[in-house]
Amino acid sequence: MQFIKTEIDGLVIIEPKVFGDPRGYFFESFNQKRFQENVREIEFVQDNESRSSYGVLRGLHFQKPPFDQAKLVRCIEGKVLDVAVDIRKGSPTFGKHISVELSDENKRQFFVPRGFAHGFVVLSKSAIFQYKVDNWYAPDYDAGIAWNDKELGIDWKMSYESILLSEKDKGLKNLAETEIPFTFS
């Protein structure tokens, strides 16, 4: 398993070592000890999964404290563009983002710590997306940022006309208009 640091401190791409032969493949998708040695101490409490069709964009979401969440995400079927935006006030990378393609082919995972907004768009016909979180889902603390905020400059790798959003995501505001509860430390 390889742990790849990104240009934004805390965001980590994880590439597993895949063992394959004519029968199929095997890989270790999570190892608590190796994760803690290479990323940070964490206790995941919930696993989630979604299935979405081409063009579905979910995000950019975060939960407010005390229910903020770190996430370890991966795409087990299909292909997505996964995006994390630094929303920690005072951070040298505030408002910057990292985009990573996650797919059933590359088997990459992406660790998104607390203090980041997160979202993904489906680039294949459909995708099954899984994520581990270190805090419980709390709908009253759910928040987000508009996916198309021009200040963020995210290239979603598809035309805006192809994007499919939930009603909740259609109503999200730009970062500059959103109350941000995170401070860089």
List, for residues 73-121, the tens digit of each pLDDT value. 999 999 999 999 999 999 999 999 999 999 999 999 999 999 999 999 9
Rounded distance between C-alpha atoms, residue 15 and residue 109, angstroms? 7
Q: In tens digits, what is the pLDDT along the chain, a chain of 185 residues?
A: 999 999 999 999 999 999 999 999 999 999 999 999 999 999 999 999 999 999 999 999 999 999 999 999 999 999 999 999 999 999 999 999 999 999 999 999 999 999 999 999 999 999 999 999 999 999 999 999 999 999 999 999 999 999 999 999 999 999 999 999 999 98
Residue 153, judged by CB atoms within 10 A of its CB (0-12, 13-18, 19+), counts as exposed
Peptide bond into 72 cis (omega under 30): no
Rounded distance between C-alpha atoms, residue 96 and residue 93, angstroms? 5
Rounded distance between C-alpha atoms, residue 86 and residue 90, angstroms? 10
- The pTM assigned to this predicted structure is 0.96
**CATH class of the structural domain 2-177:** mainly beta
- E-only strand ranges, 27-179: 46-53, 57-63, 71-77, 79-86, 97-103, 109-112, 116-122, 126-133, 142-144
54 tagged catalytic: no
Q: Given this model, what pLDDT does residue 185 score?
A: 85
Residue 78 CB-half CA count within 13 A? 21
Q: Given this model, what pLDDT does residue 59 score?
A: 95
Residue 49, judged by CB atoms within 10 A of its CB (0-12, 13-18, 19+), counts as exposed
97 tagged catalytic: no
Q: Which of 25, 61, 97, 118 is flagged as catalytic? A: 61
Q: Given this model, what pLDDT does residue 41 score?
A: 96
Q: Which of 25, 54, 131, 160 is flagged as catalytic? A: 131
Q: Given this model, what pLDDT does residue 96 score?
A: 98
